[in-house]
Chains A and B, each alone.
Chain A
Amino acid sequence: LAKTTQPISMDSYEGQEVNITCSHNNIATNDYITWYQQFPSQGPRFIIQGYKTKVTNEVASLFIPADRKSSTLSLPRVSLSDTAVYYCLPWNSGYSTLTFGKGTMLLVSP
């Protein structure tokens, strides 16, 4: 299982764009990169997944360069409600479970 490394915490202000980078130097060829978001006192929820290049949905964008050794989750114009822990994890359909690290604690201030 590929090891992932993320910053422990990040601070931002409302209205700014936030980019959270995850390193995964040993990612397997058939692994996708999946991101989850966890609000305080709640379970995580899936936000986005990608394999290569760029993926965008209503919540975030995910950038994965050609070498796939890292990925960047981009949150446009964050609000206070985006304060949460963000987890980056490798996944492929052969995994029976998801393995979470400690994630990145994003604190958005007014």
Chain B
Amino acid sequence: NAGVMQNPRHLVRRRGQEARLRCSPMKGHSHVYWYRQLPEEGLKFMVYLQKENIIDESGMPKERFSAEFPKEGPSILRIQQVVRGDSAAYFCASSPSKGNEKLFFGSGTQLSVL
């Protein structure tokens, strides 16, 4: 039973480019969460999605960031026109149900903006 898969593991973008981060949840999990971790800081919640629905995006910046979790395929976190401040580790987690204390995290995508 594969865990949460994130790719790419490392992503380098120049300022102004787009970054697309992918997350495949654990088998049987229909709830996906995205977190961002800046250097020397804790994990910050960004968005919570269930298949085809955004449930909570209170932690998502209002501009340039979007997320989706289609009926088929992985969840995508998309960052348009990246800036240096977007450089961070982005973690995806999944769970089988809402309000579950056990989130299963992937290994993250390290985004570096040049």
Q: Please give the residue numbers on chain A whose beta carbons come within 8 Å of chain B beta carbons, in ascending order.
A: 32, 34, 41-46, 49, 87, 91-103
A99 & B45 in contact (Cβ 8 Å cutoff): yes
B41 & A46 in contact (Cβ 8 Å cutoff): no
Count A-B contacts at CB 8 Å. Answer: 60
Q: Which residues does chain A contribute within 8 Å of B48, judged by CB atoms?
A: 96-97
CA distance A98 to B105 in the complex (A): 12
**What are 14 A-B pairs with beta-carbon distances under 8 A?**
A34-B101, A43-B108, A44-B103, A45-B105, A46-B104, A87-B42, A87-B43, A93-B101, A96-B56, A97-B33, A97-B48, A98-B45, A100-B42, A103-B42
A46-B104, A99-B45 known; 10 new pairs, CB 8 Å cut-off, are A43-B92, A44-B91, A46-B101, A91-B101, A93-B100, A96-B48, A97-B56, A100-B35, A100-B42, A102-B41
Number of B residues with CB within 8 Å of any CB on chain A: 27
B107 & A101 in contact (Cβ 8 Å cutoff): no
Question: Which residue of chain A has its CB nearest to the CB of B99?
Answer: A93
CA distance A69 to B33 in the complex (A): 29
Distance in Å from the Cβ of B102 to the closest Cβ of chain A? 5
B107 & A46 in contact (Cβ 8 Å cutoff): no
Q: Which residues does chain A contribute within 8 Å of B101, judged by CB atoms?
A: 32, 34, 46, 49, 91, 93, 98
Q: Please give the residue numbers on chain B whose beta carbons come within 8 Å of chain A beta carbons, in ascending order.
A: 4, 33, 35, 41-45, 48, 55-56, 89, 91-93, 98-108, 110
With A97-B33, A100-B43 known as contacts, the answer to whether A46 contacts B108 (CB < 8 A) is no
Distance in Å from the Cβ of A59 to the closest Cβ of chain B? 13
Distance in Å from the Cβ of B7 to the closest Cβ of chain A? 14
